[in-house]
Structure 1
């Protein structure tokens, strides 16, 4: 069977087979991670922050998320581990002197190198474009290439001079295996911090309880001593029983006769005389 011009169609032109699965360009996907915010998908601009899993964000995008976590966002799964501003670190980046910015290809008549990056490694000069492995230090936020950290072994930051340890080095935009290791490290640190906080809280509670117990004991002791003192003082202040002079055996009769209670001082009715009132008329 022929068509116009006597051509014969082939089988693949008449029968449609299964559609080919479009493959994602790995290099383009990786480059996008280094040039765009992981949350808002906007181009990265200073200030740029990074999480404990090595993902890059615009700081304002993370702050907006923390202020309103209920708002719908396309990439919420990449920030669920961020609980607060302490879970991110602001990066201390080194500008690339060869990068002209977005204005260099404004007319469209200039070759644009998509692999040209805004930032470079301050030690070996490698561009931070996804082709090379980069890390940042959690202590100071400075960024270096993995090659620089391996070639120049030191525990002092090459850029700011702060000290750091191996556990402070975090890979930026690492592989799945890198992210799994970083997640395990992050969960371990948070669990240790939680246990430390609980230990401090229980210790503080114990100290408060002991202080309250000591205060109550001292108060009880003070009240007991005050009651004992009051009882002793009351016993001291109790007046002695009065005795008549005539009942004091240790006193002599001569001494007792000086008082009106002595028998010699008592008179009969006959001995008692009436009172006589004298007036001036008797003189």
Structure 2
């Protein structure tokens, strides 16, 4: 069979069987989900944010993704549901006092066996993927699921803010839990859209009603002479008042003027229209002077 050199082939070398399913190392998967950004695949560092599906990101990576949403970017599908900065929650994490940083593993032959960088502030469990952690949507505080179950309350253990059961988001859940969170996210966004659409016609109606009231509001011309209901009558009355005012002013000015009938004859003789100023043809001259009189 072409086995030169006396080699004996084995069955698995000659017969092609079904491919073996590659098993993913659980430790490597936990490290990738809890220690590295889902979008940029870089180590998580503050500020750290979470989406509505419970995935962890570096805030800088999310901002860069929102500024440039090109599909060619690697791992862009993991953040496709993030439409704006409002869709992420900045995490309020509690530092682990026993964390040694990157000095815990210098050889590089294991997967970050050092202590986690963050812990639960209530129970003290490390946030390394071995324990389930949750984030509150309202304040962003992070707790272990055990702490929320053992100490049931409607107030945040860290900041004292009020929250409801709907505000709890599980971090790095399995596929079924992620699908449930996705349904809640879509329902919430649809509800927000419906509320915006319902608010728009109400705002238009209020604007129209306010405009109508301002047009019907009586002005100074409408309140004149007690005519508030009929604007035409008020305008007519205002016009009449103006004309009457003009007549009174003209009569007053005419009364102030001197009448010729009231004056003496000596005053009348000053003017050329007086009979004493008129001359006969014999008295008038044939030449024209600078004070010529024409009769």
The answer, yes or no, to whether TM exceeds 0.5 is yes
Residue aligning to 1:272:
none
Residue aligning to 1:97:
97
Instruction: Kindly report which structure 2 residues correspond to 1:1-283, keeping only aligned pairs within 5 A, or say none.
Output: 9-70=9-70, 72-106=72-106, 108=107, 113-114=112-113, 116-218=115-217, 223-230=231-238, 233=241
SS of 2:201's equivalent in the other structure is helix
Moved more, 63-72 or 76-85: 63-72
SS of 2:169's equivalent in the other structure is strand
Distance 2:6 2:26 in 1: 45
Distance 2:199 2:188 in 1: 16
Could you tell me how far 1:215 is from its partner in structure 2? 3.1
Could you tell me how far 1:67 is from its partner in structure 2? 1.8
Aligned residues: 241
Asked if structure 1 preserves the Cα contact closer than 8 Å seen for 2:104 and 2:113, the reply is no
Could you tell me how far 1:148 is from its partner in structure 2? 0.7
Q: 1:80 to 1:224 in 2, by over 3 A?
A: farther
Distance 1:111 1:17 in 2: 33
Asked if structure 2 preserves the Cα contact closer than 8 Å seen for 1:49 and 1:57, the reply is yes
Could you tell me how far 1:97 is from its partner in structure 2? 2.6
Q: What does the per-residue CA deviation read over 1:78-109, in whole Å, with 9 as the maximum and x for residues that have no partner?
A: 21221222211111111223321112333x29
Q: 1:123 to 1:206 in 2, by over 3 A?
A: same
Could you tell me how far 1:34 is from its partner in structure 2? 0.7
Could you tell me how far 1:53 is from its partner in structure 2? 1.1
Q: 1:166 to 1:210 in 2, by over 3 A?
A: same
Residue aligning to 1:262:
none
Distance 1:173 1:67 in 2: 25
Q: 1:112 to 1:54 in 2, by over 3 A?
A: closer
Distance 1:227 1:112 in 2: 90
Could you tell me how far 1:70 is from its partner in structure 2? 3.0
Could you tell me how far 1:69 is from its partner in structure 2? 1.9
Distance 1:32 1:110 in 2: 16
Asked if structure 2 preserves the Cα contact closer than 8 Å seen for 1:115 and 1:129, the reply is no
Distance 1:215 1:18 in 2: 82
